[in-house]
Amino acid sequence: MSGACFSLPGAPRPLLILGLGNALMSDDAVGPRAAEILAEDAELTLRADVIAGGTDLLRYMDQFAGRRRVILIDAAESAGEPGGISIVEDMPEAESAESAHALSAPGALGLLRRLMPALQATRFTWVLMNIGSVAAREGLSPEIAAALPKLAEAVRREALLP
């Protein structure tokens, strides 16, 4: 369901929750899967627009305009325990790229902030789930599937903060 937007009619909410990932790369799909769970939370969707997105952060640039806060849910490959969660405010750009085709999500956000000065006032929060690795297959690994509710709850807590 990548790219699905779950929001109520009317003006955009001040909060956007965007799940990033690739459904064809196993655990990389944890962001959109968490967004799908959060979209079923009636209390949350009164306060936030929720998108189960893909991997291209630039594709969602129009969705960022006018938001006070954006929560990005993504997978992170690291040496930590799979299923571990970290919350990072305004993640720095990881690398410099010569082409938009090679941008990481933090690199894409850096580019967007340079192109759209109004985004300097938008608070971006990354909620990351550690995954061991990705594989070219659909479906989450058992350990990441088991940790998915914990990720959704961490995002929900962040979203309901004042």
Token pair recorded at residue 102: 């090679």
Distance CA 101, CA 68 (A): 28
Distance CA 112, CA 130 (A): 25
Domain range summary for the chain, segments of one domain joined by +: 4-159
- The CATH class given to the 4-159 domain equals alpha beta
For residue 101, what pLDDT band results from cuts at 50, 70 and 90? Answer: very low
Distance CA 71, CA 48 (A): 10
Q: What is the DSSP letter of 3?
A: T
Q: What is the pTM of this model?
A: 0.88
| Contact of 129 with 76, CB cutoff 8 Å | yes
137-158 pLDDT per residue, tens? 999 999 999 999 999 999 999 9
